[in-house]
Structure 1
């Protein structure tokens, strides 16, 4: 019971920090309404960013609380499935290519907190494999593979948001894929490829395939709008086909 009490107090503490940051943001907004200064607007964004980051930590602590203290396997399984549905992570498999769709952009590699997307991804892959196993369907395992990261940015927002590919955190995504689908994620067994497109929303697509499938696959998709920062072309999305 002492450990349970400690967990509850920690959740309440983080929730209080989120509330404080939102209250601070409201005060800054009032000042901004009076002065319309760029300084106050910058402070407002900083406050909201801090509140958002703390909210992600709060979600993580609540998730851990449920998973640690739910002893019914059926309730725990239902909770994990609900997490996947809430985050709208989709996993598909067609023509020997595994596709996962994440409803967010991957974080910067220097971000301190990244569990908000990787834990739901891990659960989504776990549930997908469990369902395939129950249905007697194949769970692919790649001995020599290529994973393609397609970063889709909302074309209605400024292009300055588009980050360099070497600043995008990929390790935990590769670790999650490796847990279920890779013989190894070492350089001898896995190649990685990043590309960026403009679309209707922010999201990330992952495509995992045998390395010898990749050249033909990527060539077929250049007409769909793979872009660079300097030559933006609207995109329509990708399928495993």
Structure 2
């Protein structure tokens, strides 16, 4: 691993993380000094930078893995809190909180690659047929301790990249004629998102268990 380019990229990533840390400390300082300061855009920018740097570091690390890289990415998925669970009625895929819609230049591999490997790992241990027709219900969980003003309209939340991965691996076809997508919001103990995949005839049972409590907690 004495390749000059490899070492150069490693040092660049280290420098990028150092810059992110410095800017985040500055945001915290500005919040203390200015009551009306809104850090949203700056924080989004730092998230983008951190994701790009994290993916670059992952790729550098993957080059040191001499065997199959799947266990490495599955461990990343576990660290990120990505889980695939199956019950009798539906398949549940849990991921970290989904950020608002982002630019095309933003990194897509930060969560989608670990998500893909997590699903692959699950299917390896639990083979299943792809859904011919399917209902996908997305629940956006918001940390109740941070308040309800953070709740966003569904058309301002980036779900397509997640759905593209899920549909490509678990559905035979993602046509609107065969796939129904619903979304709901729930206050919780942390920010996260859950994708429930089920046969269309199971949708009413899912809605009965989730929609009523979700609506109640958000309107109180």
Scaled to the shorter chain, the TM-score interval is: 0.7 to 0.9
Q: Contact (CA 8 Å) 2:89, 2:202: kept in 1 or not? A: no
2:64 is equivalent to residue 77 of structure 1 = no
User: How far apart are residue 101 of structure 1 and its match?
Assistant: 1.3
Give distance in 1, aligned partners of 2:146 and 2:30: 26
Question: SS of the counterpart of 2:92?
Answer: strand
Q: Which runs of 5+ in 2 are unaligned?
A: none
Superposed displacement of residue 146, structure 1: 0.8
1:129 is displaced (CA, Å) by 0.7
Question: Which runs of 5 or more structure 1 residues have no equivalent in the other structure?
Answer: 133-137, 234-241
The residue correspondences of 1:196-207 to structure 2 (distance < 5 A) are: 196-207=185-196
**TM-score, L = length of structure 2:** 0.84
Q: Note if contact 1:22-1:47 (Cα within 8 Å) is conserved in structure 2.
A: no
4-13 vs 88-97, greater mean Cα deviation: 4-13
CA distance in 1 between partners of 2:191 and 2:182 (Å) = 19
Moved over 4 A (4+): 27-33, 45-49
- Residue 91 (structure 1) aligns with: 84
How many residues are matched?
A: 218
Cα distance in 2 between the residues matched to 1:215 and 1:176 = 25
Cα distance change on mapping 1:140 and 1:94 into 2, 3 Å: farther
1:10-68 deviation digits (Å, cap 9, x = unpaired): 343243133124324445655765xx2236x446x655543333121111112222334
Given candidates 165, 170, 173, the residue that maps to 2:159 is: 170
Among candidates 198, 210, 213, match of residue 221 of structure 1: 210
Describe how 1:36-185 pairs up with structure 2 within 5 A: 36-38=33-35, 41-42=37-38, 47-68=42-63, 70-73=65-68, 76-102=69-95, 104-111=96-103, 112-132=106-126, 138-185=127-174
Q: CA deviation at 1:180?
A: 2.1
Displacement, 1:194? 0.5
Q: Specify the SS of the correspondent of 2:219.
A: coil
- TM-score with structure 1 length normalisation? 0.78
In terms of Rg, which structure is larger? 1
Gap change, CA 1:27 and 1:146, over 3 Å in 2: closer
Q: CA RMSD in A?
A: 2.7
